[in-house]
Amino acid sequence: MEDKRQIVDNLVLELRRGTLVLSVLSQLVAPQYGYSLVESLETKGIHIDPGTLYPLLRRLEKQELLQSEWETSGPKPRKYYILSVLGKEVYQELCNEWLELNKSIMAIL
């Protein structure tokens, strides 16, 4: 038998899970690199583990929702990501779906 705290935490985890992609896409209208994403989302109350983000970014790039570019002129090499055209479209649709879903949930609570 699990304890209550753990059950809740787990469910919250599941809740936030699906919103991660949405969060990430929303930030990439302007180019950002992984580490900066982690930080900027953190300030907005959305925690994402680097070990979660990096594979996510790669996956989104493979799906062609993102484009990336290495920036090597600075002191440390950084990989910048930004939304592709397809990414923008998908992001838009996802936003709409979120609003829909939100409406449904609010209605039943």
Residue 85 as a binder of a copy of itself (CB under 8 A): the answer is no
Contacts 24+ apart (CB under 8 A), 95-101: 95/22, 98/19, 98/22
Piece of the chain touching DNA by CB under 7 A; list 44-52, 87-95, 96-104: 44-52
d(C-alpha 14, C-alpha 16), whole Å: 5
d(C-alpha 25, C-alpha 19), whole Å: 10
Strand partners, 32: 81
Q: Residue holding tokens 């002129």?
A: 73
# chain residues binding a copy of itself, by CB under 8 A:
43
Site for a copy of itself in 34-73 (CB under 8 A): 41, 44-46, 63-65
Beta carbon nearer to a copy of itself, 2 or 51: 2
Choosing from 52, 67, 82, 88, the residue that interacts with DNA (CB under 7 A) is 52
> Is residue 32 within 8 Å of 81, Cβ to Cβ?
yes
- Residue 66 CB neighbour total at 10 angstroms: 22
Residues that bind a copy of itself (CB under 8 A): 1-2, 4, 7-8, 11-19, 21-23, 26-27, 41, 44-46, 63-65, 86, 89-90, 93-95, 97-98, 100-105, 107-109
Instruction: List residues binding DNA (CB under 7 A).
Output: 10, 13-14, 16-18, 20-21, 33-36, 48-52, 54-59, 75-79
